[in-house]
Amino acid sequence: MSGGLVRACAVADVAPGSALAVEIDGTEVAIVRTGDRYYAIADECSHASVPLSEGDVDGCTIECYLHGSPFDLRTGQPLGLPATEPVPVFRCRVDGDDVLVDLAARPDPDDDQTTSAPAGTAPRSLSQE
């Protein structure tokens, strides 16, 4: 697999609180937007082969529609049964109007994963409830 950030979609393609299924180099990826922040997670539940992009986005998680396991969008870890295995998550950053993903890299905390906010506006908190 080649590394490097590639364009996955436009920031406007994903509504807040939703996910978009995209294919990058033959890999199915869910681009998930929560507020103004974007995440990239493999678009396949680790419990069975169903797309996570069809699940519900809730804060920093996406919930598998089939049996309800929520996955942390930052780590890919399942936060509830029946899934017990993590789902791969990828480096994701916003560059202007584009959402970029690097399938060969883990999320980088230094990346700007948000759409541009007005100067002086703090990023929205994504702490768990």
Distance between CA atoms of residues 70 and 58, nearest Å: 9
Taking the complex as a whole, how short is the minimal distance between the CB of residue 95 and ligand FES, in angstroms? Answer: 31
- Measured from the CB atom, is 5 or 78 closer to ligand FES? 78
- Measured from the CB atom, is 50 or 79 closer to ligand FES? 50
- Measured from the CB atom, is 67 or 74 closer to ligand FES? 67
**Nearest to 43, CA basis, from 9, 94, 3:** 9
Which residues would be at the binding site for ligand FES (CB under 6 A)?
45, 47-48, 50, 64, 66-67, 69, 82-83
